[in-house]
């Protein structure tokens, strides 16, 4: 695995030196109705959620949207 890791590191250094930025997904994950309802009900929670990075927001959305039943979400 060492040669593969070295190759990835060298590639990452090249990308960094070129100043390329990662492409950010413009369409975020759809938020479940239950999570959106809680964010609307609790302004402090909404403020804290919006302060998170887009990656963490996506992780929470996916986590809370995973259960199939509404009562579980």
Nearest-CA neighbor of 29 among 61, 4, 55?
Answer: 61
**Number of domains comprising the chain:** 1
Contact (CB, 8 A) for 25 and 62: no
**pTM to 2 decimal places:** 0.56
Q: How far is residue 14's CA from residue 40's CA, in Å, rounded to a whole number?
A: 44
Residue 65's domain spans which residues?
Answer: 25-73
Which pLDDT does position 73 carry in this prediction? 57
Q: Is 16 inside any structural domain?
A: no
Q: How far is residue 38's CA from residue 62's CA, in Å, rounded to a whole number?
A: 15
Q: Is 49 inside any structural domain?
A: yes
Q: Is 48 inside any structural domain?
A: yes
Q: Is 10 inside any structural domain?
A: no
Q: Is 53 inside any structural domain?
A: yes
Which pLDDT does position 16 carry in this prediction? 87
Q: Is 12 inside any structural domain?
A: no
User: Residue 62: enclosing H or E segment and its boundaries?
Assistant: helix 54-65
Which pLDDT does position 71 carry in this prediction? 66
């Amino acid at each position: 695995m060492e040669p593969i890791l070295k190759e990835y590191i060298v590639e990452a250094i090249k990308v960094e030196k070129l100043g390329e930025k990662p492409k950010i997904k413009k369409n975020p994950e759809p938020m479940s109705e239950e999570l959106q309802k809680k964010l609307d009900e609790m302004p402090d929670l909404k403020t804290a959620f919006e302060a998170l990075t887009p990656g963490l927001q996506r992780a929470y959305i996916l986590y809370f949207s995973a259960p199939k039943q509404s009562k579980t979400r």
